[in-house]
Amino acid sequence: MDKKRIKTELLVHDLKTPIAIIEAGINSLMNNDEKNEPLTERQIKVLTRTLRNIKIAKGLVNDILEVGRSSEGIIDNRRCILCELLMPPMIEIFDLTDHSASERIKACEDINSLKKELSDKGIRLNMDEGLWEKEVYVDPRKINQIFRNLTSNAMKYRKNTIDIHVDIRKNKDQGESLYISVKDDGEGIEKIYHQKIFEAYFQIEDEREHCVRGHGLGLAGILILIEDMGGRMYLESGEGKGARFSVTLPLGVCSI
């Protein structure tokens, strides 16, 4: 790894400490650890918004470090079950926009209750019941990051609904692949941008207002993760027709 990149990644890594201190400070104010006067409603609102943004900052730092690790060939495969790959990103996404929905999603114990909660939020989850506890051998942090980025983009650009498909498919060589697709019903992406949007810092000029302006790094980052894991990502979209991002990832074979 070249020196310049090590320096940048060290800087990003060191951001974790001040972020953790800010988070601990806000938490202690909110839990009133110092036994101060109770907070006013306005103060609670401000602190809640601050905490939400601290979570975003933490997520970004971890994402950048994960892409760096991946580029160095570090793949942390472990045995996990499919619901462990899907639940954390869903909880995180709603944590930022609708805290009570995020709590309800966290409490879901099976696929049917999760499907119900998500459908109330305009998200259709298409996944066989039997796959919920299906054991796979993958790098969970990378899959979480891929799924979170695709779903949060779809949430940002959808008109009303999102369709998510999750499946395990047999490859020609008898191995298995994890298939995830996320489709929204938004404005879609013109053909001329289909390559460009996977480049770092590229964003389509957009007069429409989206609540959080991104950085054009999400798709570029997850493409690195996917390719490093031997997977592929495809985009199907036309102007006005929504966008479907689909990912296939070969599943490792666990030898222990």
**CA 30, chain centre distance (Å):** 27
**In the complex, least distance from residue 243 CB atom to ligand ADP, rounded to whole angstroms:** 4
**CA 125, chain centre distance (Å):** 16
**In the complex, least distance from residue 214 CB atom to Mg ion, rounded to whole angstroms:** 5
Q: Decide: is 151 part of the binding site for Mg ion (CB under 5 A).
A: no
Q: Decide: is 204 part of the binding site for ligand ADP (CB under 6 A).
A: yes
Q: Residues in contact with ligand ADP, total (CB under 6 A)? A: 18
H-type helices in 121-249, by residue range?
140-157, 218-228
Among residues 54, 108, 219, 226, which is the contact residue for ligand ADP, using CB under 6 A?
A: 219
Q: Decide: is 186 part of the binding site for Mg ion (CB under 5 A).
A: no
CA atoms within 13 A on the CB side of 174: 0
Interactions with Mg ion, residue window 23-82 (CB under 5 A): none
Among residues 54, 85, 178, 189, which is the contact residue for ligand ADP, using CB under 6 A?
A: 189
Segment contacting ligand ADP (CB under 6 A): 22-30, 33-41, 51-59, 209-217?
209-217
Among residues 138, 243, 247, 251, which is the contact residue for ligand ADP, using CB under 6 A?
A: 243
Q: Decide: is 154 part of the binding site for ligand ADP (CB under 6 A).
A: yes
Contacts of 95 (CB under 8 A, 6+ apart): 52, 55, 102
Q: Decide: is 252 part of the binding site for Mg ion (CB under 5 A).
A: no
Long-range residue pairs from 2-9, CB within 8 A, at least 24 positions apart, any chain: 5/68, 9/64, 9/65, 9/68
As a whole number of angstroms, the distance between CA 131 and CA 168 comes to 8
